[in-house]
Structure 1
Amino acid sequence: MIDPQTTNSQTTELPLYSPARVRELLAQHGLRPTKSLGQNFLIDGNILRSIAEAGGAAAGEKVLEIGPGLGVLTREIASRGAQVKALEKDERLRPVLADTLAGTGAEVVWGDALDFDYASLPAGTRVIANLPYYITGLLLSRFMEAESIVSATVLVQKEVAQRLAARPSDDAYGFLSALAALYGTVKHVRDVPKGAFFPAPDVTSSVVRLDFDRTKPQPPRALIDFVDAALHHRRKTLRNNLRMVGHDPAAIDAALQEAGQRPDVRAEDVPLHELIHIAHLLNVVR
């Protein structure tokens, strides 16, 4: 007969990311992953280490994590000497994180990541996170706009990663691609299979790193809105997209001609710098 106490002791000695340890923690606290909160916990140590490494987790670095879950990635980041602040919405995880993050120095802020004031972060903050899929786009735009955040290394749906890194004329190119390029650069780090999570999600994931150029002025809201409108129906002509949001057809034609673009050019085929040029020609920005 197996001694339950001995079995439990052996289980708790396993790494925090092991499937057995994850199941033990969930059972111990009477929890189940909540699909509506995007709770898919990482159970692959190699991927955890590669995310922390790619994100720049190192001694003295200031790191923000979104949705620490059971604290697996949090511990990996903190073990490298980084100062970690983690935002968590699920109050049920309080006792779990009190246990798993004990002694790490990590700070947990309880609340919705969409309500957090990212402008309050110290300059030079790096985001390293397994983002909840259902709010990925909203969170990425908040990171881009917060001048204190210099990079974001995030685990996202592979489709989102492809959109972030896409170039004009690529199948995945769209507003998110242009927005990322407005603020800096995107690097694909690695793909992550479904089996690296518990429970396994329905889609393959990818790790991407966004670096934001904070030496440049923030793009004005008028320009962001213009790019959004221009690419809203990316396979339609740029002329039609701009006409639909109220720009004068004659002015659009003149701007396209001056920018060296065909009247029937599709929005997805116009390089970002040319869109910016057209925005200036239409007096959207000065």
Structure 2
Amino acid sequence: MTEDAPAPLYSPRTVRDLMQRHGIRATKSLGQNFLVDGNVLRSIADAGGAASGVSVLEVGPGLGVLTREVAERGAHVVTLEKDERLRPVLAETLAGLDVEVVWGDALKFDYDRLPDGTRVIANLPYYISTALLSKFMASARIVSATVLVQREVAERLAAKPGEDAYGFMSALAALHGRVRIVRDVPKGAFIPAPDVTSSVVRLDFTGFEDSGQKPDARLIRLMEAALHHRRKTMRNNLRMAGFDAGAVEQALETVGLRADVRAEDVALRDMHRFAQALGVLA
């Protein structure tokens, strides 16, 4: 009689056994929801381009389920983990794989230490997902990020000017490249189940309209100020941020925008022209 094959690492039975043997409870304050759906796991790795020789950054490996899937495809993985309780778990689940675990806060990590061409593939802690995405976009080392986030965040990232979900993160993502929502992920794909539906989203940092250039920091600051308060006019937002009201009105007129326009309705090309007319950009 043949023995049953061991359950895969992502199976609910294996995950519960790991948590029980190591005395682990998912910590809500750290955004811990462990993935237990093999189809979702493979779709993240596929969409992220995990393959032999690829450098991958992961944030929040948890029990190492996604980490192992990516490393077993031949990628070299650097994974950032803050929760020291997971040391013995990851020592077990990642044994023998090309994985470097860096213990500490991902928001304080030096992303310049990564090799050029790094791809992020991660189930991000939801409570810091937008802060992390901003860091990924800013890094010259990272070329793409395929991440599991709250569906609301994915929709904001992919939104276009004039759409309800459009805001500063939408503009920031578009200025850095392209965004594609890969798939939705139900609550039941995790232990414990989160309160919301999640989505896999891929961001390619190819520059605005594939220019290959990082956006000017001055334009980013202007966009952040212009979009700071939704439903307020761009003129009022910028005035509140310290810009001269007369100069703003003149720049709006110069580029053919209404005086009462809201920044969430302005195309990025027009915003760039406005920044030039205002003297923010040359």
Question: TM-score, normalised to structure 1's length?
Answer: 0.94
SS at match of 1:162: helix
Q: Counterpart amino acid of 1:253?
A: E
- Matches for 1:21-100 after TM superposition, within 5 Å: 21-100=14-93
The one-letter code matched in structure 2 to 1:13 is P
Partners of 1:89 and 1:249 lie apart in 2 by: 45
CA offsets, 1:154-210, max 9 Å, x none? 000000000000000100000000000111110010000000000000000000000
- Do the aligned partners of 2:60 and 2:80 also contact (CA within 8 Å) in 1? yes
Aligned-residue Cα RMSD (Å) equals 1.3
| 2: CA distance, partners of 1:62 / 1:102 | 18
> Where does structure 1 differ by over 4 angstroms across 4 or more consecutive aligned residues?
none
Helix, strand or coil at the partner of 1:147: coil
Q: How many residue pairs are counted as aligned between the two chains?
A: 277
| 2:243 corresponds to | 247
Alignment match, 1:261: 257
AA of the residue aligned to 2:250: A
Amino acid at match of 2:263: A
Residue 82 of structure 2 contacts residue 105 of structure 2 at CA under 8 Å; is this kept in 1? yes
Distance 2:270 2:141 in 1: 28
Once the 2 structures are TM-superposed, how far is the Cα of residue 69 of structure 1 from its aligned partner? 0.6
Query: Does structure 1 conserve the Cα–Cα contact (< 8 Å) formed by 2:154 and 2:181?
Result: yes
Determine the structure 1 residue equivalent to 2:218: 222
> Where do 5+ consecutive residues of structure 2 fail to align?
none
SS of the residue corresponding to residue 179 of structure 2 reads strand
Could you list the runs of 5+ residues in structure 1 that have no partner in the other structure?
Answer: 1-8
Q: Following the alignment from structure 1 to structure 2, what is the Cα–Cα distance between the partners of residues 58 and 161?
A: 24
Retained in 1: the 8 A contact 2:75–2:98? no
- 2:167 counterpart of 1:174: yes
Give the structure 1 partner of residue 183 of structure 2. Answer: 190
Partner AA of 1:15 in structure 2: P
For residues 267-282 of structure 1, what are the structure 2 equivalents within 5 Å?
267-282=263-278
Does the aligned pair in 2 maintain the 1:119–1:147 contact within 8 Å?
yes
**What's the TM-score, normalizing by structure 2?**
0.95
3-state SS of 1:109 partner: strand
* Deviation of the 1:217 alpha carbon: 3.3
Say which SS state the counterpart of residue 77 (structure 1) adopts.
helix
Q: Specify the code of the residue in structure 2 equivalent to 1:126.
A: R
Q: Is the 8 A contact 1:233 1:267 kept in 2?
A: no
